[in-house]
Amino acid sequence: MLLQNSLQKTSFLICLSCLVSLSTIVPINSHHGVLLAQNPITTKVRFKLPNRGTPGGTIGGATRSTSKTLTAIVPQKKIGLTINKSPLLFVYIPKNEANQGKLVISDEENKTLYERFLPVQKTEGILMIKVPEKLNLSEGKPYKWEFFLLNENGEQIGKEKTFGWVEKVSLNSNLEKINQPNLDRWETVNILAEEGIWQDTLEQLAFLHLADPDNTEIKQEWTELLKFVGLNNIANSEILPYVIEVQ
C-alpha cells in the first residue's frame, strides 16, 4: 500500500510538471502590446460598469472585506468584458505556502473547457494570466474562470479559491477609435473605461504603471479603479512585472 501511494504521488507530480511546463512567464518589457507612458495624463479614468450582470447573479472575486485573500480582480456581480480574443485575467495572490496554482475555464453550463497548473509566487502580488488563443472565446458568451492554490499533492489549500466571469464583445463605433494609429495612449484607456471594458482597461493601466512605476498619477488611477469596484483592501498591492502565458 505504501508503495502504491508513493507511485501515485510520483505520477501526479510528473503530470503536474508536464502541465506547468506548458506555461511561460513573460516579463512585461518583452510582452507584445506594452504601452509606454510617454504622454501626460490629461483626464481621469471614468469607468462605467456595464449592464451585463453575471449568470445567476453570482458574485465573483471575494467578499469585500479588510482581509487579504485570494481574489479575482473583477467588478462585483458584473462580467469582465473584453474586446480581445486572448485577454488577461487578474488575480490577487496573498502570501502563501502553495506549490502551484490552477486555472479552470468553463462555459455557462459549467462544462470545463480548459484546465492548467501554473507557477505561483509565495509573496503577495497581483498576477496576470493570458487566456490562450486556442480557447477561441465566442462573442456574447460568458465564460467562468476559477483560480485555486494547491499544495504539493495537488489538493486545494483551505478555501483558497476565487472566480470571475469574462465575455468577449464586438467593437462599437466608439471602440473602433482605439485602432487609430495616432490615438493618445491615455485616450485609449478612457475609451475602454467609458465602454465598460474591464479586462482591457485593467491591462492598459497595468502596463502603463509597470512601464513608468514612479508615475504617481498612473498609480493613483489604478488604485482608484480597484476601489471603485470595492477592492480597497488590495488596491495598493504590487502588480507582478510579468504575464503568465498558458498553452
- The pLDDT tens digits of the residues spanning 76-85 come to 888 999 999 9
pLDDT for the residue 63? 47
* 38 CB burial (10 A radius; 0-12, 13-18, 19+): exposed
pLDDT for the residue 184? 80
Task: Please name the helix (run of DSSP H) or strand (run of DSSP E) that holds residue 125, with its range, or none.
Answer: strand 125-130
**Mean pLDDT, residues 179-199:** 90
- DSSP code for 61: B
Task: Please name the helix (run of DSSP H) or strand (run of DSSP E) that holds residue 130, with its range, or none.
Answer: strand 125-130
Interacting residues of 60 by C-beta distance below 8 A, sequence separation 6+: 54, 72, 74, 75, 76, 77, 78, 80, 162, 163, 164, 165
* Banded model confidence at residue 213, pLDDT cuts 50, 70, 90: very high
- The pLDDT tens digits of the residues spanning 94-144 come to 999 899 999 999 999 999 999 999 999 999 999 999 999 999 999 999 999
Lowest mean pLDDT among 51-60, 63-72, 206-215: 51-60
- DSSP code for 142: E
The model's pTM is: 0.84
* Banded model confidence at residue 181, pLDDT cuts 50, 70, 90: confident
pLDDT exceeds 70 at position 164:
yes
- The pLDDT tens digits of the residues spanning 21-58 come to 456 788 876 444 444 444 555 457 889 988 877 776 55
pLDDT for the residue 56? 64
**What is the spatial distance between Cα 197 and Cα 48, in angstroms, rounded to a whole number?**
9
* Percentage of residues of the chain with pLDDT beyond 70: 80
